[in-house]
Amino acid sequence: MPAPNPAALEFLLTRRSRPAKLLQPPAPDDAELRTLLTAAARAPDHGKLEPWRFIVLRGAALARLAALTRELGGARGLDPDKVEKDASAFDGSPLAVAVIFSPRPSEKAPEVEQLLSAGAVCLGLLNAALAAGWGANWLTGWMAHDREFLTRGLDLAPHEGVAGFIHIGTERAAPPERPRPDLDRIVTWADA
């Protein structure tokens, strides 16, 4: 017979990301952030490869990434409003953690499984931050797939990428609830 954890289930049934633009200081201190990162690192990891790592971004690092977003977005001819929105996520964030996808050679765990593990780390960090009372949001954007941004901005190796930027801080205002998936539309029950 299972041993239910009603508080954890209630949290998962009601969890809600907080838009990055609504986050402000303070953010978790180093000790609090270590706890959140420890929780995130407990993600499913077939083969115990740890195909991910963290880069904690604060202050000048966030300002530098915002400037690089503007520079590269302009050079690529992207919509200026979109570029500004993407840059402002870095500018306005009190803290962000870049979850870096760093696949490992493995016969046991194909790269797609390792990528899914990195995604699970992102969700784990997001949920840990929310459970600890912080506001948090998981963003990517074109920068997460732009090799020059990844190399110049985050010093990533050629085989590495960004699974997500997890922005964490104190929320200014709670966002309104949004519609959730209709289970009758997305669930198939296969009993035979």
To the question of whether residue 16 is assigned a binding role by annotation, the answer is yes
Q: Which long-range contacts (CB under 8 A, 24 or more apart) does 87-90 make?
A: 88/21, 89/20, 89/21, 89/139, 89/141, 89/165, 89/167, 90/57, 90/62, 90/63, 90/65, 90/66
Q: Taking the CA atoms of the chain, what radius of gyration do you get in angstroms?
A: 18
To the question of whether residue 151 is assigned a binding role by annotation, the answer is no
To the question of whether residue 46 is assigned a binding role by annotation, the answer is yes
Angle subtended by helix axes 30-40 and 111-131, to nearest 10: 140
To the question of whether residue 185 is assigned a binding role by annotation, the answer is no
To the question of whether residue 76 is assigned a binding role by annotation, the answer is no
To the question of whether residue 52 is assigned a binding role by annotation, the answer is no
To the question of whether residue 15 is assigned a binding role by annotation, the answer is yes
To the question of whether residue 145 is assigned a binding role by annotation, the answer is no
> Which residues are annotated binding-site positions?
15-17, 42, 46, 138-140
> Which residues are annotated binding-site positions for FMN?
15-17, 42, 46, 138-140
